[in-house]
Structure 1
Amino acid sequence: MPESLATYIALPGTTAEAMEHWHQVFGGELQILRYGDNPMPGMPFEPDPQAVAHATLVTAGGIIAGGDAAPDGNDYAVQGTAYSLLYTTDTTAQAREYIAKLVEGGGREAMPFARAPWGGWYGHTFDRFGVMWAFSCDAEQ
């Protein structure tokens, strides 16, 4: 396997729902492995068999990976900019389509997609899971 870099997001028990939603929005190939699919003895915690151990969504734009957060006492808020993804599209129409699907799926547009000071286009949306999706597109000819 060649080198690659993917975004990894640990969500509080909503990874399967989020990945399925993102699959509907962006397309691609989705794989979800739950703890019950492949029991792993010796885990430092007793995982819920329905919890997501690992999931990947391979899209035309890149790879998103993730899993349900381990019960380690950390309770990080998802909503904000710590969980954010930048998706650069070929056209403004493609970015607007993705934004519309995220909003229709229960998200909200936080910064309207518009001309940016550097000449391209930019805007960001929070999906219903609290993940910020920033969209960028070079100026179209």
Structure 2
Amino acid sequence: MSHSLATYVALPGTTAEAMEHWHEVFGGELNILRYGDTPMEGLPFEPDPQAVAHSTLVLPAGVIAGGDAMDDGKDYPLQGTAYSLLYTVDTPDEARTYIDKLVDGGGSIGMPFEQAPWGDWYGQIFDRFGVMWAFSCETD
């Protein structure tokens, strides 16, 4: 058995929409499993059959996994700078392509993508779901 590490995001009922959007932006292989597609006996909660139980977007650089958060009355804000999905690419143009797709899809620039003081390229974008994407690449 080999080890792997994936990012897991629990979104408030928007996981399918987010994963489909990220699939449009980045490509890869998308799989979405809804609760209605699983045997729901024995679950400690009553999920909406259309809610996402588990999803994965497999990219050449890694895996994003996620599911719909089961609302327990707590408020978990998504947009913030305590975390981000860091995507390291080969060229600034490749990063700009992804950034443009995220912004065109309803996102906003958090930090412009430009050459950073350490010499590499870096920038931050909040997608329309409030998830922060950081893009990085070495100087070309």
Instruction: Give me the TM-score of the superposition, normalised by structure 1.
Output: 0.96
How far off its partner does 1:83 sit? 4.7
Amino acid at match of 1:25: V
Q: How far, CA to CA, are the matches of 2:71 and 2:108 in structure 1?
A: 29
Q: In the alignment, what sits opposite 1:71?
A: 71
2:84 alignment counterpart:
84
Two-structure CA RMSD over aligned residues (Å): 1.0
* Contact map agreement 1:9 1:83 (CA 8 A) in 2: no
**Number of the residue aligned with 2:8:** 8
Q: Structure 2: 5+ residue runs without aligned partners?
A: none
What is the match of residue 39 of structure 1? 39
Give the Cα–Cα distance (whole angstroms) in 2 for the partners of residues 68 and 84 of structure 1.
19
Please list the CA deviations of residues 86-133 of structure 1 after superposition, one character each: whole Å capped at 9, or x if unmatched. Answer: 000011010000000000000011111000111100000000000000
Gaps of 5+ in 1: none
Identical columns (%): 74
Show the 5 A alignment for 1:113-128.
Answer: 113-128=113-128
AA in 1 matched with 2:71: P
Runs in 1 of length 4+ with deviation above 4 angstroms? none
